[in-house]
């Protein structure tokens, strides 16, 4: 046997064991995972075709239906983040030339536009400023004008903190032979969502926000009307990994290998959904609302102003206007470095203008609200113009 060539060690590093700090994640996501979920993640993996795992898959699917309030047969946690599930909704239903109407009122609406155009759809948009929602009349006028095959919109816009009212939109879509696609990434498990009552045909979400898991799974669901459009496709779904028909041979009754499922992530998802069911959806929604209201009142008492009008505000994500002259980024860095708390900055049109505070899943607790408010009260004044010299020293944690 000939000698092996010598190994190139130039990328070799002698690292110590991982030592990430405990952070309190009060930004736009990920949120902290529930400790029970973290324990589930640390269990020894079992085979992805093991009968016990197959049983667990069924439990995850059934509890996702509960969380979404849907009877959809095709309800699957995609292996991938929310964006993978987002892409799956489009990849499976769109054919080149299909008209897609995207209602854009923030960053994630724009992502839907980009993705749909990659599947060669004819994309048309309607837009609202970042911090507003669409009225039913605006949606109705656009659907009547454009006659799209799909109307895509974001229920909970994480970039703005706005919750889109859904009244009547499903019926409108049905009467115009249009599928309704809804992003529920920042609402599932935390903000009321009634997919079947709202007549939503396609939806997706993520694991790392209202469900209190780490990032890594993208819940996906598809109703009968979307299934019918998928079944009538002329060509193959142009994305092998996200092809729901192939995936459903694994997640449906056949249990045929498709890809090696991230079994531990699904252990975590199973536990997260079990905890949600144990708490009860209405109770979880009410908890998110209560803690968000506590945060809103506290911020306003401090003289800060909230970007989203109260009737459209998301309990999961609060946008706070950065006061004139304050270096918002420096304050976020201070919270992170000195206190181990993550708060987000603005995205896109709101970059530099707002902070984004998330109270999602396990993190939606009054103690977290009070801790953050106290830091805003005691430490923000040092970040106002002219107060720089009083700034508390940032301590690395």
Chain contacts with ligand PLP (rule: CB under 6 A): 28-29, 81-83, 86, 108, 154, 158, 183, 185-186, 206, 215
Residues of 106-143 as b/e, b for ≥16 C-beta within 10 angstroms? bbbbbbbbebbeebebbbebbebebbbbbeeeebbebb
Which of 187, 184, 363, 211 shows the shortest CA–CA distance to 276? 211
Across 144-185, the runs of DSSP E, i.e. the strands, are 150-154, 156-157, 162-163, 179-183
Q: Which residue sits closest to ligand PLP, CB atoms considered?
A: 82
How does strand 341-342 pair with strand 24-25?
A: parallel
Q: Specify the residue, 206 or 350, whose C-beta has the smaller distance to ligand PLP.
A: 206
Q: How far apart are CA 340 and CA 395, in angstroms?
A: 10
Q: Specify the residue, 152 or 273, whose C-beta has the smaller distance to ligand PLP.
A: 152
Q: Specify the residue, 83 or 264, whose C-beta has the smaller distance to ligand PLP.
A: 83
Backbone angles phi, psi at 39, to 5 degrees: -65, -40
Q: Specify the residue, 61 or 208, whose C-beta has the smaller distance to ligand PLP.
A: 208
Q: How far apart are CA 221 and CA 147, in angstroms?
A: 24
How does strand 341-342 pair with strand 317-321?
A: unpaired
Dihedral, CA of residue 146, residue 137, residue 316 and residue 382, to nearest 10: 100
Q: Specify the residue, 74 or 185, whose C-beta has the smaller distance to ligand PLP.
A: 185
Q: Specify the residue, 183 or 243, whose C-beta has the smaller distance to ligand PLP.
A: 183
Q: How far apart are CA 185 and CA 183, in angstroms?
A: 6
């Amino acid at each position: 046997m000939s000698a092996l060539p010598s190994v190139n060690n130039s990328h070799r590093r002698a690292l110590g064991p991982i030592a990430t700090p405990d952070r309190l994640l009060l930004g736009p996501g990920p949120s902290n995972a529930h400790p029970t979920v973290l324990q589930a993640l640390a269990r020894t993996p079992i085979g992805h075709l093991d009968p016990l795992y197959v049983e667990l898959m069924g439990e995850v699917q059934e509890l996702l239906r509960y969380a979404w309030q849907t009877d959809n047969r095709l309800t699957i946690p995609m292996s991938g983040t929310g964006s993978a599930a987002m892409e799956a909704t489009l990849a499976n239903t769109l054919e080149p030339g299909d008209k897609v109407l995207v209602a854009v009122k923030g960053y994630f609406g724009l992502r839907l536009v980009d993705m749909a155009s990659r599947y060669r759809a004819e994309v048309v948009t309607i837009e609202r400023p970042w911090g507003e929602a669409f009225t039913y009349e605006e949606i109705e006028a656009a659907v009547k004008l454009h006659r799209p095959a799909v109307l895509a919109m974001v229920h909970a816009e994480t970039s703005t903190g706005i919750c889109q009212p859904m009244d009547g939109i499903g019926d409108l879509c049905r009467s115009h032979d249009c599928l309704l696609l809804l992003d529920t990434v920042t609402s599932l498990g935390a903000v009321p969502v009634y997919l079947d009552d709202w007549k939503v045909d396609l939806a997706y979400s993520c694991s790392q926000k209202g469900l209190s898991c780490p990032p890594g799974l993208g819940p996906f669901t598809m109703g009968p009307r979307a299934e019918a459009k998928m079944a009538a496709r002329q060509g193959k779904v142009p994305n092998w990994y996200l092809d729901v028909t192939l995936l459903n041979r694994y997640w449906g009754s056949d249990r045929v290998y498709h890809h090696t499922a991230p079994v531990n992530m699904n252990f975590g998802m199973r536990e997260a959904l079990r905890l949600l069911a144990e708490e009860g959806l209405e109770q979880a929604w009410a908890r998110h609302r209560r803690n968000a209201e506590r945060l809103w009142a506290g911020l306003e008492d401090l003289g800060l102003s909230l970007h989203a009008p109260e009737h459209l505000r998301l309990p999961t994500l609060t946008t706070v206007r950065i006061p004139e002259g304050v270096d918002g980024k420096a304050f976020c860095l201070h919270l992170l470095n000195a206190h181990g708390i993550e708060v987000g900055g603005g995205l896109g049109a709101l970059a530099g203008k707002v902070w984004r505070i998330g109270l999602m899943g396990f993190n939606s607790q009054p103690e977290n609200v009070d801790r953050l408010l106290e830091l805003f009260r005691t430490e923000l004044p040092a970040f106002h113009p002219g107060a720089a010299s009083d700034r508390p020293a940032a301590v690395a944690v």
